[in-house]
Amino acid sequence: MSFSVDATTCQNLRESLRWEWLETDGGGGYASSTILHCHTRRYHALLAPNLPDPPGTFVLLSKYEDSLVSEEQEFFLSIHRYPGVYFPHGHQYLRGFRLDEHPSFSFAIGEVKLQKDFMLVEGRRMSLMRYELKDSPRPVTLRIKPLLAFRGFHELRREDLFLQVRTYPAPNGFKIRPYNGLPPLVVQTSVMGEFYPAPLWFRQFEYFVEAERGFDNHEDLFHPGVFELPLKPRQAVVLAAGLDEIPNPSELPDLWAAELSRRRQCRRQTAAIRVAWAPAKKALPVLAFAGRQFLVHHPNGRPGIIAGFPWFGEWTRDTLIALPGLTFCCGRNDEGRAILVALATHEANGLLPNFFGSDPEHHAYNSVDASLWFFRAIQHLLEHTGDLETIRSALWPTMLRILRRLMEGTIHDIRINGDGLLHAGNRHTQLTWMDAMVDGVPVTPRHGYAVEINALWYNALCFAEELASRFGEPLPWSRDLVSQVRDAFVRMFWLPQERRLADAVSDGKPDVSVRPNQLFAAALPHSMLDSDQQQAVLESVRSELLTPFGLRTLSPRDVSYHGRYEGGPAERDRAYHQGTVWPWLLGPYTDVLLKTAPDPALAAEELMETVQPLLDYALEGQGLGHIPEVFDGDPPHRPNGCIAQAWNTGELIRALRLCANAVSARRPARRVRSASARPRKGGRRR
């Protein structure tokens, strides 16, 4: 992608402070800020690595306060927000921001022109800031003040007496270890300059987005000292901050060039993802390039997918839903295969972890669907690669263990009933993806029999029978189980008068809320529904849930509907699955749409017309190439949540691929206007 804004936009603080860029290091670490380098979140940082010991993500280097000194005048390039004031005002010299392979900032101070570029180095837990004096009538001095946080990325730093202020010499820089238990930080420059230790605290940085989210939003940062570096016209200097000392910092420009070359190669690879269809032609390469940022190798070497940046970790459900789009649909078959093989080793009691903790003792096995999504991801593996050997040798044993244990019954009251349907949880648990709780009480109680859980269960049973037949192996359950589950599903969930599916059946009572979860019963390769029922389910979802940015989680006609995702944590949790729009649900929606449409190509084109605002957001939105976590249910559907969500990117890639394939397969035919992909306005609340 290539994104740029001019000086007018940069100097409009109301607008520019909503644009955020993201860098990742391939190991779960990241850097992120606004296009002004003015932090608005506690998560913004220039170096937030994922550490093995202590385990977790830590904001070490928050930011730099940088300036140019010329003829005894200091011109700041930085801007910070303090209570009631922005200071200094470096944005007034910012002439533009550009994002290609990395964030780039252009400054003009009279005749002095300077470019500042930033990158994380893949696999190194190191950030690089490059300053180049493009033009100047005279030499200048670059002054840089590192500002350190040294805290967990969910936390905030306050001035304290425990910080160790002493710095130690390093080649062209310094080393500091402010707190025992965290690794030292090394800051070095590619040219010889001066570092003057000057320990002090900068107090009361203010992060207004945290205030909007109902959290504490003030922080103190530690300043260990000042770099002063001479710069001549057309000279560049690279500033490195990382965990390892570089013996010869004059090699930093080579490290910069190598990382830039690697990124350009990645850009060429994603640009090679070509489709002739216009809606996908621009968006697919951008989404595929952004999708690489979610693929990680953890410090222990395990491959995985980070659910979202900047504050999510690794959630197995998100991983398995995002994986087909991020890997197989982008030609990254080896990465997708490796993630599935690694996940298979973490099965316990028939379940895969809901999310991965810092070590196996802290993995959370509190979801019912992660192990069922495992089967769906393996179906994608087979579809894209035909790799039966990996499935049989590395995945099939785990698949059988999962099915056997679920049939026998396992933790969290997960078991099958006499008809073979899968029961999970109780009124105190949240085991599906709609898992928000407020004060320990589920916001969307879905214990008992949830519709998508049983759709995934049926699909897993059918897929297991298919594989057993291909492997020539018997299955340790009755041949009648699949048909028994199919018939029981329809009896339990189908609402003949409403012509759709119940969302869940809890304590013998059906929840008849109109939610998107019913889509999976029609979207999965093995469906319990006939074609008429599949079409009816699609129509129910289309008429009340489809928006230009994804699907609402609850119909606007429902008395429990929340149209805006805002306020403090409790208010946002109450809205999270009660109307808030989730883009990833366009994946199953597309599956059903193309499966049921009389003219799949026409339906694909009309769907893309409907969701063009989401594609535009991917290309030009405030997440700069990324799809955010959620959008409001009510127009204008404001973006919200974290700035980059893996399953949104992955499922949008997959939906674009499906639609492009449908269009390319079209036979010449008279264009007939179809209503199957066009949303109606949401109804009034009751």
Question: Each residue of 649-685: pLDDT tens digit?
Answer: 999 999 999 999 999 887 554 444 444 455 544 443 3
CATH number for position 522: 1.50.10.10
Residue-level pLDDT at 675: 47
Whether residue 682 is contained in a domain is answered as no
* For range 493-504, the mean pLDDT: 98
H/E segment holding residue 465 = helix 451-471
What number is the average pLDDT over the span 223-229? Answer: 97
Q: What is the pLDDT of residues 633-646, one digit of tens each?
A: 999 999 999 999 99
- In total, the chain counts a number of residues equal to 686
Domain identity same for 307 and 444: yes
- Which pLDDT score is estimated for 267? 86
- Whether 253 is in a domain gets the answer no
- Decide which of 200, 229, 247 is a domain's last residue: 247
Q: Is 358 exposed, middle or buried (0-12, 13-18, 19+ CB in 10 A)?
A: middle
**Residues 34, 39, 44: CA angle, nearest 5 degrees:** 85
Burial of 360 (0-12, 13-18, 19+ CB in 10 A): exposed
Q: Are residues 470 and 325 in the same domain?
A: yes
Indicate if 319 and 370 belong to the same structural domain. yes
Show Cβ contacts of residue 360 under 8 Å, excluding neighbours closer than 6 positions.
346
Instruction: Tell me: do 121 and 15 sit in the same domain.
Output: yes
Q: Taking residues 159-179, what's their average pLDDT?
A: 96
pLDDT in tens, 72-118: 899 999 999 999 999 999 999 999 999 999 999 999 999 999 999 99
DSSP for 52-105, written as a single string: ETTEEEEEEEEEEEEEEEETTEEEE---EEETTEEES-GGGGEEEEEESSSEEE
Q: Are residues 112 and 71 in the same domain?
A: yes
Examine the domain organization and report whether 477 and 591 are in the same domain: yes
pLDDT at 503: 98
- Does one domain contain both 579 and 466? yes
What is the maximum alpha-carbon separation in the chain? 87
pLDDT band of residue 194 (cuts 50, 70, 90) is very high
Q: Report, as an integer, the average pLDDT of 136-164.
A: 96
Instruction: Kindly state whether residue 642 falls inside one of the protein's structural domains.
Output: yes
Query: Is 227 in the same domain as 332?
Result: no
Report pLDDT for 672. Answer: 46
Question: Is residue 333 assigned to a domain?
Answer: yes
The answer as to whether 670 is a domain residue is no
- 524 and 601 belong to one structural domain: yes
Where in the sequence is the domain holding 623, given as residue range(s)? 273-664
3-state SS assignment for residue 48: strand
> Per the structure block, which two tokens stand in for 64?
């730099």
> 50 or 274: which carries more pLDDT confidence?
50
Average pLDDT over residues 207-230: 96
Determine which helix (DSSP H) or strand (DSSP E) holds 129, and give its type and residue range.
strand 126-135
pLDDT at position 358 over 80: no
Cα–Cα–Cα angle for 321, 642, 655, rounded to 5 degrees: 35
Lowest mean pLDDT, pick from 147-151, 405-409, 575-579, 679-683 = 679-683
57 residue type, one letter: T
**Residue 280: strand, helix, or coil:** helix
Residue-level pLDDT at 680: 47
Residues in Cβ contact with 402 at an 8 Å cutoff, skipping those fewer than 6 apart: 347, 350, 351, 352, 371, 374, 375, 460
Residues 351 and 285 in one domain: yes
Answer whether residue 17 shows pLDDT above 70: yes
Pair 319, 181 in one domain: no
Pairing of strands 500-501, 494-495: antiparallel
Whether 500 and 552 map to the same domain: the answer is yes
CB 429 within 8 A of CB 367: no
Specify the residue for token string 């903790």.
357
Q: Calculate ∠ Cα 315-582-376, nearest 5°.
A: 50
The verdict on residue 477 lying in a domain is yes
> CB count, 10 Å around CB of 269?
16
pLDDT on residue 668: 55
Rounded to 5°, angle at Cα 368 from 365 and 369? 115
Average pLDDT of the chain is 94
677 domain-assigned = no
**Phi then psi for 191, rounded to 5 degrees?**
-120, 155
Domain harbouring 90, CATH code: 2.70.98
Confidence of residue 273 (pLDDT cuts 50, 70, 90): confident
Cα angle value 646/47/253 (rounded, 5°) = 110
Q: What pLDDT is recorded for position 681?
A: 44
Q: Which residues contact 96 (CB under 8 A, 6 or more apart)?
A: 4, 5, 6, 7, 10, 105, 106
Q: Would residue 675 count as lying in a domain?
A: no
What number is the average pLDDT over the span 583-599? 97
DSSP assignment string, 489-554 = HHHHHEETTTTEE-SEEETTEEE----GGGGHHHHSSS-SS-HHHHHHHHHHHHHHTEETTEEESS
Q: How many domains does the chain have?
A: 2
